[in-house]
Structure formats: structure tokens, C-alpha cells
Amino acid sequence: MHSISLQPSLCITSCRNDSLGPSGRRRILLALGGGSLSLALVFAALGAWPVLPYSAIEVTALFIAFWCIGRHAGDRESLRVEGDRVVVERTYAGVVTREEFNRSWTHLDVEQGVRGARLVLSSAGKRLAIGADLNAEERAHVARALSRALAAR
């Protein structure tokens, strides 16, 4: 008789910290951009009109930066070890990808680099870096938990 577990033996989800949220980003952009343009208009009224194009460039750069931050605010990575499968699902800039590995053939490599350790799942010639948005302590915790889950086959 076989027993079937509906619960994954390991499930780890990481997502970016979006502490401002969309409305907070909008308010900060309006405050910084509005302040810059207001100051540029005062200088233009006093005869220093060449300040205006530079202020417009500054506000445009701010808008692009906040747009990029907003676009990646929903990025997340989910790693599940379920039965004989290891499943990694990612959402990056609104695009969802899914990779599956055979648990029996999968192993975790911890590669040391300039920016700290990097976690890489390897199986059947396929390699996938995971945990890029985690700090060093979280990465070490994930490495221990995942190593235990992969060893308990």
C-alpha cells in the first residue's frame, strides 16, 4: 500500500520588498519631480532659463527609475519539493516561468563568488541559479533546508 502526501516536503517563496507600494512611489515621484520643476521655474523666471531642460531630464530619469522599480515590485520565486519533483516558479517583470527537475537526479551546488554564495540547482545537464533576491543569511538557510529535502529521497 502506498501513501500519498498532498503537502510538499519543502516550499520556499521569496519576493521583493515593496515597502512603498504604488501610491507611495507616486507620491515620492510627485514630491521630488514637482520640487525640482518648481525650483527650475523660479530660476527661469529670474533669467536662468537653461536650468529648465536639465530639470526636465532629471524628472524623466526619476520617472524611468520609479517605473522600473514598479515593474519589478511583484517579482517572486517559489521553490517546491513535491514527491519526486523539484519545481521552481518565477515571476519576473510580469513573466511567469516554471522549471521542473527530477528530485532523484537533482543536487544543489553552492558556488562562492565575488558577491557571496550563489545557489544553483543541477540536474541532467540543466543548471538553474536560485535565490538571487535573498541575503546571505537567507541563502544559507535555504541551502540547508533544500539539501535536507533533496537528501530525504
With cut-offs at 50, 70 and 90, classify the pLDDT of residue 152.
Answer: confident
Q: What pLDDT does 8 receive?
A: 57
DSSP letter assigned to residue 17: -
Query: For residues 153 and 19, what is the distance between their CA atoms, to the nearest angstrom?
Result: 39
Query: For residues 94 and 91, what is the distance between their CA atoms, to the nearest angstrom?
Result: 6
pLDDT (tens digit per residue) in 118-132: 999 999 899 999 998
- % the chain with pLDDT above 70: 94
Residue 7 pLDDT > 80: no
pLDDT (tens digit per residue) in 56-82: 999 999 999 999 999 999 999 999 998
